[in-house]
Structure 1
Amino acid sequence: MAIYNAMIDGYFQQGFAEEGAGFFREMQSLGIRPDGFSLSILLGGFSLSKPHSHGSSLSTNIGPCDHSTGLHLGKQIHGFIIRNSMLGDPFLGTNLMGFYFSFGDLNSATNVFHEMPERNFVSWNTIIGGLAQNEGMGESLEMFKLMMREKIKPGSEAFSSVLTACSNGEDSTFGSVLHCYAIKHGLCSDSYVSSSLINMYGKFCQIENSWLVFNETPLKELGSWNSMISSCIYNNLGKKALELYKLMKFSGAKSDCFSICNALSACNLMGFSELGRVIHGELAKKPVQTHLGVRTALLTMYSNHGKLEEAMAIFNTIHSKDLTAWGAMIAGFCKEMKVSRALNLMMEMELSGLKPDSAILTIILSSCASLEALALGTQMHGYIMKSGFSSDIFVGTAIIDMYAKCGLPELAGIWFSDMKYTNLATWNAIICGFYQNSLPERSIELFMIMVQQGLEPDYITIATLISATARLATLKHGKSIHGYIIRHGFCPEFGFHGILIDIWIEAKSRMNVFVSMDTYHPEILEVYGTLVGLVKHMEEEGYVPLVA
């Protein structure tokens, strides 16, 4: 048995799935009953290979791996385990969960966990970590709570996983509870736990707590440095992130790919500081410079700040370009308003076998809108219709914005009406679009419909609404919108008293609703003339008006 297990494991580890399965069949033909370790080896092998064709059944033996999908074979092994009452082996059950997680099958993995008559420490780590890594954040937290209710003390792995799940949610209070538990049980000294705490507080924008954990970490390993630098970047503290990076190097910690990507991101955030070039120079002749993530971070830094030649030079050195690398280069051309070049690059990407995602399409559409390049925008619209992105909310919103900025609000309205799914950004785009095209009545009408549908406006909505009301210059609309703003508390929350002040003023014998700094108002000269006169009158009466 041990010899066969070793041979099967060796073949699978080297990627020879068919040969490994052959040894398993031979073992079965000799009447040797597989144990939990044998089946765990097969599960690990199938999860690594993930083949795509279909083949034989496990009822008598396991066929070659390339004759059936890994998931199908794994389910056959699962059936074999159940029929032979082997799920009582925690080692085997844990590996079966890991197999399902490798295919993203969270339901099957969770069912295996609940069916296990005996669960050990590793089983709990696997279910909590597997759910967190596969975006089952809520389920991961619930499993952790169940673990606590069963009075099982979590280890650093499970605790780090649940902290990661918590940081991807919105419950900062539960995160603080976890921190207290970690302090009470001495887990904060573990580098994985401290790094996860730093990340969690960073994502909750509680950077002062990230610093607290970082400063109290007795032995700062590379993971702690990386987490703290990353948290600074997440909170737009680029200068502090670069200072930390320098301090990390001074402490003797050696940078890895993640450290370098963080430092380059901080340079990008700071507006491409000279340190970016220095880091690039330091990477010369080092193995890390060939890492895809590092090269992508370099070309992102250069392209974001108009250094397209340097970015393109790096881009051309990447042999296996992924979607992130293509997207960064396309975004660079779009930022410099070279939309035609961005479109050509997108076509090159398609020829390489990759399809653009919604982010790339949105960036190109936004550039078409900024340039008012209707021909290119229409071309993109046609491509989107053919490629199946027409139902994407972000792409649809960008199409509305493009047509509105190109002076075709009716087309924007038609596209908006045809969209199956909308969000606040979509409503803002169409409301702003009508306002920008001198159709304030339509903007106000759409706002009323949006509110009736239960969608809460944000700062952008209200700012556009005030401007639309000012352009209409009617007392009725002005009072209605002003009342809505006050009732819903937008003035104190968004600072409209200091940013967008609505002024009720009489000009040409009628009341006007005027927004400060609005140059589109039809009675702009008369309104400002009246205001100047008012200021002079105040001065004559002995008042000193506050005029910015």
Structure 2
Amino acid sequence: MFFPYFTIHLKSLLSIKGCKIKFPVQTNWLGEYSISSNNSINEFPNSYYKDNSTKQCYYSIGENAIRGQLWSAMDQQGCSTDSKTYACLLQDCVKKRALAEGKRIHAHMIQTGYKLGMFVCNDLLNMYAKCGCLKDACYLFDRMPEADTVSWNALISGYAHHGSNQQVLKLFRKMQKAGMKPDSFTFTSILSSCAYLGDLDKGQQLHTHVIKFGFESQIFVENALVDMYAKCGKIESAHQLFLEIPNKDDVSWNVLITGYAQFGLGEEALNLFCQMRRMGFKMGYFTFGSVLKACGSVMLLGQGKQVHACIVKTGYESNSHVRSAIVDMYCKCGRMEDAQQLFDEVPEQEEVSWNALISGYAQNGYSEETLKLFYQMQWAGPKACHFTFGSVLKACGNLAVQKQGKQIHTCIIKAGFESDILVGSAILDMYAKCGSVEDARAMFYKMPDRNLVTWNTIIAGLCQTVGNEESPKYNLEALKLFYEMLWADMKPNHFTLSSTLIACSNLTAIEHGRQLHVYTIKNNFEVEEFVGTSLVGMYAKCGAIDDAYKCFEKLLKCDIVSWNAMVAGYAQNGHSEQALKLFQQALREGIKSDEITFNIILSVSANIAALEQGKQVHTYTIKTGFEPRVVVGNALVGMYAKCGSIDDACKMFEIMPLRDACSWTALILGYARHGYGREALQIFEQMQQNGMKPNEITFLGVLSACSHAGLVNEGCYYFDSMSRDHDISPRADHCACVVDLLGRAGRLNEAELFIKKMKLKSDAVAWRALLSACKIHGNVVIGKRAAEHILELEPNDASAYVLLSKIHLSDGNSDEAITLRNMMKGKGVKKEPGLSWIEINRKVHYFAVRDRSHPQTENIYAKLDELLLKMKGAGYVPDTNCVIDDMEYE
């Protein structure tokens, strides 16, 4: 029998060293206690209660420590332990996540020869699964003589609890194959995993099973179904199910409010919240958390403040979860000062509040502040969780600080979160954004479980490697991963398809792109804004501009991104006039331009030297307030320079409030293009004096300037300076500039030796530059060698045939020239005719040799004949050394 005296003094007796307490044998002491965590550590009741055969003694000394002490004392005294005692101990281990203590209890069972029955086996299984030791849980499960529904549920819920949702679905399939009948708890866990994965198909199949087994009327299964449909994007189905629940509880309302909040339907979530209040349902911290999330999702600051006031009235403001939700709401509404003030008002912040503020800084783009706050959190003591690490990794990715990212990755491994699917995806994304594709790949293949976000992150990361030497390989791998994803029974979404279409664009793999297009039509993704825009971009990049326009026309909703993609498509494929017309159409339809629009359209104006059009666009940038933006300013400098108005380019450069390396480079390229070599070099020196680091394109401008101005020594100096002083490895186009520089100066032997020295034998651009120089200086021997190299690399290169034939003609060898021209005709190689154009009254007129398509052709040729007569009268004699037949004579 248990006495009050023993109860009062048990703690002090156990604290005395060497104290021995006699326990009656065969009594379930531990099973007689019900632990309460409301009282302080020193409070002990001095009475006991009897309820039929069960003696109960209620007390609290904090964190269930008394059970561990009692069990230790019983173990020392050799008292027997029955299944109820073990059950109570293992339940405590689950509550405290005390894996080490749980393993000690398991070891005690083995040492004492205790026969594990189904009841205790299930408790052990639950302990291992809930404490995160899934490997040991599986080991125990596999060696159980027989498993019942409770056993399967323990393992399934353990995997679900730790985010291994793919494994949850696999276990459910195994359970079905084993002929084990699922119960309501099984369905709750499986539906939760489907919700987490966003797997609507499996969720709907489970819904059928729920009805089949007769669990559709159980409230927690109904709530799980509402949650699943809401998280899978079927919010209307979720709402309909919610309406059909006869006895709704506060959880029913909460899951639907959360569903609306997650999909940015904040007003609908607030309406539900108001209905819930009117109907008298209990407002718990979960309800307030969901409705605050809804306010934050659509930035309803006014309503969020009202909910905050309601929380203060009901006394929930002191709850850490609610307080963190308030902080999060202010963060999402962009009110970081209010969020920080709320955070600072509490002297000792809990983990959730730190997470809310760190996440807020990350979401609002304050990446440096995010990292600082994370380090402060580490000093303050609260442990980082997967939410913290997700936000901090996002900040590292945005700042492209791979070193800090790797340090945080190490912290994650130490904290045991690397296997968490959300954290793993964040690590993968961080490496991809930092340009460390190999680390991202390694992380992806190491992850035990992958969800849709993981697949999307790796595919998008592999597609972002444009400019990298390994880019074709990575983009090809992105395509392979897409097909692997389908084989893994993972359904892609619009983000997946957009990224995969970008891979097709980068590879100009139009056939793969067409197959993806068919897939988007079959799965009703074609009209999705992201996917439709990616299809436009893919077809445009692959040169199928008509197909691109068809996709553009099918888009139900066209935003500025879609218009930009189509305008850029026309520009990339040389359809400048159509690009300008489409831009004007966008303006007529009220589409607001952005920086990218202006960049594209100014580039189009520059490419066709449409100065008047460019000036009008400049006026529009001033009107819309975009002129001060660096990107737009750079495009304006480049446009004026390319259109020959170098003075206007300089004026634009001078009035720019902010300049980056591209600004200086645009001006250098402008000077270089117009033969102002010395001025270009002066700008380059000023750029360095202003503390601006030159990039690869800057050096292309500098080398081009030296080439056009004949500054050979200066050009060679700057070429060496690239790697020596600026740690920039010269690319093939830089080397081609040096070849052109030496070739123009008549130093053809040096140019040829330079090609061999720089191992440019497989670069047609360098040989073409040398061949062009040979034509200028009439060097047949080197010119012939250069042409042979070009034709070996690019057999259908018309320029090589034409230039070499002109070299032969200038050398008086017309037979060789005619042979080369005949070879061209025999192989079907045609030289693209040169074009010239002029802009008159906002209309661009194009001209080509022997072209008679212009409506005023007769007047044009009459004027040309008149000019030719005047030229001859002035003493002009044409150079006919490079002419093969009479047709080309004049």
- Structure 2 length normalisation: TM-score? 0.50
Instruction: Give the 3 Å change call, closer, same or farther, for CA 101–301 of structure 1 in structure 2.
Output: same
Cα pair 2:706 2:714 within 8 Å, conserved = no
Secondary structure at 2:675's aligned position in 1?
Answer: coil
Pairing of 1:251-290 with structure 2 (within 5 A): 251-284=589-622, 286-290=624-628
Aligned partners of 1:80, 1:134: CA distance in 2, in Å? 31
Cα pair 1:272 1:302 within 8 Å, conserved = no
Secondary structure at 1:289's aligned position in 2?
Answer: coil
Once the 2 structures are TM-superposed, how far is the Cα of residue 420 of structure 1 from its aligned partner? Answer: 2.6
Secondary structure at 1:38's aligned position in 2?
Answer: helix
Secondary structure at 2:659's aligned position in 1?
Answer: coil
Structure 2 equivalent of residue 420 of structure 1: 759
| Deviation sequence 1:246-294 (CA, Å, 0-9, x none) | 2112112222222222222232234225332222223326432221111
Matched, 1:37 2:387: yes
Matched, 1:207 2:542: no
Structure 1 equivalent of residue 457 of structure 2: 126
Aligned partners of 1:474, 1:264: CA distance in 2, in Å? 46
Once the 2 structures are TM-superposed, how far is the Cα of residue 455 of structure 1 from its aligned partner? Answer: 6.5
Pairing of 1:43-58 with structure 2 (within 5 A): 43-48=393-398
Once the 2 structures are TM-superposed, how far is the Cα of residue 12 of structure 1 from its aligned partner? Answer: 6.1
* Residue of structure 1 aligned with 2:495, choices 148, 157, 161: 157
Instruction: Give the 3 Å change call, closer, same or farther, for CA 21–49 of structure 1 in structure 2.
Output: farther
Pairing of 1:441-520 with structure 2 (within 5 A): 441-448=781-788, 456=795, 458-472=797-811, 490-494=827-831, 519-520=880-881
Instruction: Give the 3 Å change call, closer, same or farther, for CA 38–379 of structure 1 in structure 2.
Output: closer
Aligned partners of 2:781, 2:565: CA distance in 1, in Å? 50
Pairing of 1:143-542 with structure 2 (within 5 A): 143-284=481-622, 286-370=624-708, 373-374=709-710, 376-388=711-723, 391-422=730-761, 423-448=763-788, 456=795, 458-472=797-811, 490-494=827-831, 519-520=880-881
Deviates more, 1:129-138 or 1:231-240: 129-138
Instruction: Give the 3 Å change call, closer, same or farther, for CA 27–48 of structure 1 in structure 2.
Output: farther
Deviates more, 1:69-78 or 1:181-190: 69-78
Amino acid at match of 1:41: S
Secondary structure at 1:387's aligned position in 2?
Answer: helix
Aligned partners of 2:673, 2:399: CA distance in 1, in Å? 41
Secondary structure at 1:520's aligned position in 2?
Answer: coil
Aligned partners of 1:151, 1:520: CA distance in 2, in Å? 69
Once the 2 structures are TM-superposed, how far is the Cα of residue 222 of structure 1 from its aligned partner? Answer: 2.0
Structure 2 equivalent of residue 71 of structure 1: 405
Structure 2 equivalent of residue 3 of structure 1: 353
Instruction: Give the 3 Å change call, closer, same or farther, for CA 379–49 of structure 1 in structure 2.
Output: closer
Deviates more, 1:38-47 or 1:319-328: 38-47
Instruction: Give the 3 Å change call, closer, same or farther, for CA 465–267 of structure 1 in structure 2.
Output: closer
Cα pair 1:189 1:218 within 8 Å, conserved = yes
Aligned partners of 1:151, 1:166: CA distance in 2, in Å? 22
Aligned partners of 1:308, 1:232: CA distance in 2, in Å? 27
Aligned partners of 1:289, 1:377: CA distance in 2, in Å? 38
Aligned partners of 2:790, 2:644: CA distance in 1, in Å? 39
Matched, 1:26 2:376: no
Length, aligned pairs only = 481
Matched, 1:94 2:425: yes
Amino acid at match of 1:431: L
* Residue of structure 2 aligned with 1:113, choices 416, 424, 444: 444
Once the 2 structures are TM-superposed, how far is the Cα of residue 167 of structure 1 from its aligned partner? Answer: 0.5
Once the 2 structures are TM-superposed, how far is the Cα of residue 296 of structure 1 from its aligned partner? Answer: 1.2
Aligned partners of 2:815, 2:606: CA distance in 1, in Å? 48
Cα pair 1:96 1:109 within 8 Å, conserved = yes
Aligned partners of 1:72, 1:475: CA distance in 2, in Å? 67
Once the 2 structures are TM-superposed, how far is the Cα of residue 208 of structure 1 from its aligned partner? Answer: 0.4
Once the 2 structures are TM-superposed, how far is the Cα of residue 155 of structure 1 from its aligned partner? Answer: 0.8
| Deviation sequence 1:293-324 (CA, Å, 0-9, x none) | 11111121111112222221221233442232
Instruction: Give the 3 Å change call, closer, same or farther, for CA 139–449 of structure 1 in structure 2.
Output: closer
| Deviation sequence 1:158-181 (CA, Å, 0-9, x none) | 111111111011211111111111
The one of the two structures with greater contact order (alpha-carbon pairs below 8 A, sep at least 6) is 1
Once the 2 structures are TM-superposed, how far is the Cα of residue 484 of structure 1 from its aligned partner? Answer: 6.3
Amino acid at match of 2:644: G
Secondary structure at 2:450's aligned position in 1?
Answer: coil
Aligned partners of 1:237, 1:454: CA distance in 2, in Å? 29
| Deviation sequence 1:374-402 (CA, Å, 0-9, x none) | 3x232122222233278532222222222
| Deviation sequence 1:415-446 (CA, Å, 0-9, x none) | 33432334111122223323432221332244
Percent identity reads 23
- Structure 1 length normalisation: TM-score? 0.78
Greater C-alpha Rg: 2
Cα pair 2:771 2:783 within 8 Å, conserved = yes
| Deviation sequence 1:220-252 (CA, Å, 0-9, x none) | 222221111111111122221121112112112
Cα pair 1:312 1:329 within 8 Å, conserved = yes
Structure 1 equivalent of residue 414 of structure 2: 80
Aligned partners of 1:249, 1:341: CA distance in 2, in Å? 39
* Residue of structure 1 aligned with 2:479, choices 125, 138, 141: 141
Aligned partners of 2:600, 2:797: CA distance in 1, in Å? 32
Aligned partners of 1:171, 1:328: CA distance in 2, in Å? 32
CA RMSD of aligned residues (A): 3.2
Amino acid at match of 1:253: I
Once the 2 structures are TM-superposed, how far is the Cα of residue 355 of structure 1 from its aligned partner? Answer: 4.1
Once the 2 structures are TM-superposed, how far is the Cα of residue 519 of structure 1 from its aligned partner? Answer: 3.0
- Please, which runs of 5 or more residues in structure 2 have no aligned partner? 1-350, 467-473, 834-848, 850-877
Aligned partners of 2:500, 2:689: CA distance in 1, in Å? 41
Aligned partners of 2:697, 2:525: CA distance in 1, in Å? 40
Aligned partners of 1:471, 1:309: CA distance in 2, in Å? 39
Deviates more, 1:286-295 or 1:180-189: 286-295
Deviates more, 1:9-18 or 1:104-113: 9-18
Once the 2 structures are TM-superposed, how far is the Cα of residue 70 of structure 1 from its aligned partner? Answer: 0.8
Instruction: Give the 3 Å change call, closer, same or farther, for CA 113–244 of structure 1 in structure 2.
Output: same
| Deviation sequence 1:44-64 (CA, Å, 0-9, x none) | 344445669xxxxxxxxxxxx
| Deviation sequence 1:162-215 (CA, Å, 0-9, x none) | 111110112111111111111111111111111111111111111100111111
Aligned partners of 1:252, 1:442: CA distance in 2, in Å? 58
Structure 2 equivalent of residue 536 of structure 1: none
Instruction: Give the 3 Å change call, closer, same or farther, for CA 273–122 of structure 1 in structure 2.
Output: same
Instruction: Give the 3 Å change call, closer, same or farther, for CA 483–247 of structure 1 in structure 2.
Output: closer
Cα pair 1:199 1:210 within 8 Å, conserved = yes
Secondary structure at 2:644's aligned position in 1?
Answer: coil
Secondary structure at 1:381's aligned position in 2?
Answer: helix
Instruction: Give the 3 Å change call, closer, same or farther, for CA 390–177 of structure 1 in structure 2.
Output: closer
Once the 2 structures are TM-superposed, how far is the Cα of residue 518 of structure 1 from its aligned partner? Answer: 7.8
Aligned partners of 1:445, 1:113: CA distance in 2, in Å? 49
